[in-house]
Amino acid sequence: MTTSRFGQSVLIVDCKLDEMSRLRDIVTGLAFTNIDVASSANMGVSYLREQQYDLVLIAYDLGKNEKNGLQVIQEAFAEKLHLFQTLFLLIIDPDASTLLVGSLESAPDAYIVRPYDRAKIQSQLEKLIRVKKAVACVEDCMDKGDWQRGLLYCEKLISVYPGLKVYLERLQGICLLESKEYEKAEALFSRLSETKKQTWSLVGKGMSCYYLGRYSASIEVLQKVVDQQHISVEAFSWLARSMYVIGELQQAVLLMRKAVMLQPTVPQLQSELGNLAAFSGEWTLAVDAFRAAVRYSRYSVFQEPDHYFALVRSMIALHAIKPMNVAELEMECVRLMEDVSRDTMDDHSVRCRSHIILAELRDALGNSMMAEGELDLALTQFRELSVDQQWRWIDWMQDASEGKRQAEEVRKIKNALIQSTDASEWVALMIQGLQLYRKKMLSKSFSLFRRAIESGAACPSLVLNTAQVAVEMKATKDSGLSEAQWHLCLRDLNGLNFGGLAVKQQTRYQKIMKRFIELQV
């Protein structure tokens, strides 16, 4: 059997059967032997989870109101599916031939404009395969997450293949960002953006500036990308975050409105918009954004229970100021909580929070008896959690049970948690940090909180505790808080999903962020 010099396996993603059949005939003619086809973005990503392909041919247009082909690449890279060595060709229509993807990591290797034929695809492949073979050692390291070795190979290959310098410098930039070497990354991208004018270098520079706390510089750079109508999720996301942390909340909301108009099926953008809208109390906008985030993230790496909880909370808040049909509201909210519980079958914390959200709904609709029943169910699920998980979600139970008959039971659980010796190290560090904070020993308290976060706590209240201490240290000009630590706290705070926080956590978040912005300015 003849083996293609381009590889053996190919995945075709297209919603049009005639186009899919035509592409299959073309790759068969190029001697590919293992050919799979998918008719949607989710199906395409599912195939990529199962095996690694030599070539992926993706149509950008996968149907009206459906995720596009570019999102297949974005989701696959976000899921860390080790695809740096895979060739991605994005097929676009002539009227979209000016489509610009200002992405650093998840852009296609090349574009194929319709009408295409075997000769056009073969020509593109021949060029790309030479490049891929030359940089194979770098991309192999990147697929394995060995960023430092990847950087070493980049430096060596730049001298060997001067014609591939720009391509290798892009890989170098990705490795530097993944290695958290932000100063070096910023220097590299600054040089490239001044000399080569590559859009991805502007995105990389903007991201580097954000990580370094240089928010004004980040805004200046990323605004150029957005103004040029580039289809870049990263540019919109990091620009909005930079605006947000310097107090330009309304500008950030307007920016994300524009982002979702350009790319309505991208759940990351819808989630960003939803959180900004919820933070500012724009509930109609928040409902629309979270509803889209739920729809387009389902069965993908971007699916988060927080989207479901935030949507129901936003609907409850909207109902309070703009009454909706009660039966329809209740039906949608219950269905959403059933969906998220079913999609995360083994996660008792999700079921627990689902019942808490439904208790809030019942209370808002004046049915206190059903609300009490939901809290009982939430408490049952909470008892099934490990000690670590109970610490993560105890704030939810305390908020929900305040003033209710379950409050005493929750208080007993909290006391038992404090006495427990079964928790992970981060819990002990957090408790010690809280004790020192009460004694006004801010620097030592901050250090313990940071160690707890770095040990993989994934606890929202811990992030809020750390940010609270940072704000107090900054306000008193405590020398124990460096600029790097200040910006790290701000990034952690900005990384929380506002819509997915407990009710009192949201209020606390708003106060802390307000102080951060005041002190930042």
**Is the pLDDT reported for residue 115 higher than 90?**
no
Distance CA 61, CA 16 (A): 10
Per-residue tokens: 169: 């410098």
Q: Among the listed ranges 227-241, 295-309, 422-436, 481-495, which one has the minimum average pLDDT value? A: 227-241
Assign 167 a pLDDT band (cuts: 50, 70, 90). very high
Distance CA 12, CA 21 (A): 10
Domain 426-520 has CATH 1.25.40: yes
**Overall average pLDDT of the 493-507 stretch:** 92
Q: What is the pLDDT of residues 24-79, one digit of tens each?
A: 999 999 989 899 999 999 999 999 999 999 999 999 999 999 999 999 999 999 99
Closest CA to 299 of 68, 75, 107, 88: 75
What was the pLDDT predicted at 233? Answer: 87
- Helix count and strand count (H, E) for the chain: 25, 5
**Overall average pLDDT of the 172-197 stretch:** 93
For 9-134, CATH number out of 3.30.390.30, 3.40.50.300, 3.40.50.2300, 2.40.30.10 equals 3.40.50.2300
Percent over 90 (pLDDT), the chain: 80
What was the pLDDT predicted at 304? Answer: 95
Q: What is the DSSP secondary-structure string of 355-391?
A: HHHHHHHHHHTT-HHHHHHHHHHHHHHHHTS-HHHHH
Any idea what the Cα angle at residue 40 is, between residues 34 and 42, rounded to 5°?
A: 90
**Is the pLDDT reported for residue 114 higher than 70?**
yes
Measured CA to CA in angstroms, residue 247 lies from 207, 211, 257, 520 at distances of 18, 17, 17, 9
Per-residue tokens: 422: 């079964």
Neighbouring CB atoms inside 10 A of 425's CB total: 12
